[in-house]
Amino acid sequence: MGVTTVTDVRPTLDGGNVLHTLFRSDQGGHEQVVLCQDRESGLKAVIALHSTALGPALGGTRFYPYASEDDAVQDALNLSRGMSYKNALAGLDHGGGKAVIIGDPAPVAEGGVKSERLLLAYGRFVASLGGRYVTACDVGTYVQDMDVVARANRWTTGRSPENGGAGDSSVLTAFGVFQGMRASAQAAWGEPTLRGRTVGVAGVGKVGHHLVRHLVEDGASVVVTDVRAESVERLLAHHREGVRAVADTDALIRADLDVYAPCALGGALDDATVPVLTAKIVCGAANNQLAHPGVEKDLADRSILYAPDYVVNAGGVIQVADELHGFDFDRAKAKATRIYDTTLAIFDRAKSEGIPPAEAADRLAEQRIAEARGAAL
């Protein structure tokens, strides 16, 4: 079924809204949701803590120009729930949390709203939670941003090496996705390699361009697309062989692919996408790839093997979690390598229980969280 998504937090005729979602609906279950506002800096943010059963909630800060505050809350709820499951299956002693900052993430000088004052204000809100939430980078935030946020609180990871951090977490995110893709190839074709296969990568930004490098080195042919033309141009300039580009995601999913890797925003697998996919494997870095419950069955009905997103993209959170203990890249990479084994275990459970891999992953994650809650009683 995939991690349950919150589908609607808008006010209803009977007065229901986000509070109804949190307290009464099946989509709820979050421990705490904090709405943050600092008028001087223009900060508007949401911090959502889904679970602290395994330890302090850990998850990145997304900076995005949401169409509405409702959309921002909805995204924070979905992402934080996903982080609970991701951290559980990554073997981390952390629960799930996520923050979103509403607005254009470009600097103020370039027409956006991001500023040092705003990031410091956000850091103070993180500090107010007293360690229940540990933040890091996500879409729209970068290492240099976390360096600023960390000046206001000590529960910030993803900082620069110069400031005691691990640096760019996208490095191990991409490495972990590659391990998940190797496991998928083993399950589908009996060999843990992409050599001779064609892989389509949608989104070649922070994570995608690292993933392309792993694929090229493994001997795959790679087809890419991105809404930012400069990202594609930069990638093609670096990889003069083995990589080609197509105009958009629609062209990519219709191309002759063995593997499709969504590496941009969520909802990549929906009722329009799945019927036209040519790939036999879906394995990518994007969060919340399943647009709604039931998509995983549509994939299974078409014999498309889906590697659950929050399993294979856990390399980044493994990296930033390691930073809390004095970062050691080799130690973190060794943990991220285990994503291969975890992915295979999920495929095995899915096969033995006759369920989609997304449901098998959920069951494993929920089992670990439940055991932690039971041990705490």
Distance CA 107, CA 36 (A): 20
The pLDDT confidence band at residue 168, using thresholds 50, 70 and 90, is confident
Predicted confidence band of residue 322 (pLDDT cuts 50, 70, 90)? very high
Is the pLDDT confidence value at 191 over 70? yes
Catalytic residue among 98, 206, 280, 335: 98
- The whole-angstrom separation of Cα 44 and Cα 61 is 12
Pair of tokens at residue 247: 């105009």
Given a cut of 50, whether residue 15 has pLDDT beyond it is no
- CA distance between the termini of the chain: 29
Over range 220-248, report the average pLDDT: 95
> Tens digits of per-residue pLDDT, 339-357?
999 999 999 999 999 999 9
The whole-angstrom separation of Cα 310 and Cα 358 is 10
Q: Quote the pLDDT of residue 220.
A: 98
Q: Find the angle CA(267)-CA(269)-CA(273) to the nearest 5 degrees.
A: 125
What is the arithmetic mean of pLDDT over 189-215?
97
CA distance to 39, 51, 79, 303, per residue, from 372 (Å): 39, 11, 21, 35
CB 296 within 8 A of CB 2: yes
111-127 pLDDT, tens digit each: 999 999 999 999 999 99
98 catalytic per annotation: yes
Instruction: Reduce the DSSP state of residue 362 to 3 states and report it.
Output: helix
Percent of all residues in the chain with a pLDDT value above 90, rounded to a whole number: 82
Q: Please provide the average confidence, as pLDDT, over all residues in the chain.
A: 92
DSSP string for residues in 99-168: EEEES--SBGGGTS-B-HHHHHHHHHHHHHTTTSEEB-B-TT--HHHHHHHHTT-S-B-S--GGGTS---
pLDDT over 70 at 28, yes or no = no
Q: Which residue has the higher pLDDT, 75 or 192?
A: 192
pLDDT tens digits along 128-157: 999 999 999 888 999 999 999 999 999 999
Taking the CA of residue 270 as centre, how many other CA atoms within 13 Å lie in the half-sphere pointing to its CB? 9
- How much is the average pLDDT of 167-195? 96
- pLDDT-derived band at 8 (thresholds 50, 70, 90) equals low
Q: Residue 135 in contact with residue 323, Cβ under 8 Å? A: no
C-alpha–C-alpha distance, residues 76 and 47, integer Å: 7
Spatial distance between the Cα atoms of 309 and 252, rounded to a whole number of angstroms: 19
pLDDT by residue (tens digit) across 48-107? 999 999 999 999 999 999 999 999 998 999 889 989 999 999 999 999 999 999 999 999
Examine the pLDDT at 13 and tell me if it is beyond 80: no
Nearest-5° Cα angle at 219, 308 to 301? 35
pLDDT band per the 50, 70, 90 thresholds, residue 376 = low
Confidence category of residue 26, pLDDT binned at 50, 70, 90: low
Instruction: Give me the pLDDT at residue 233, please.
Output: 96
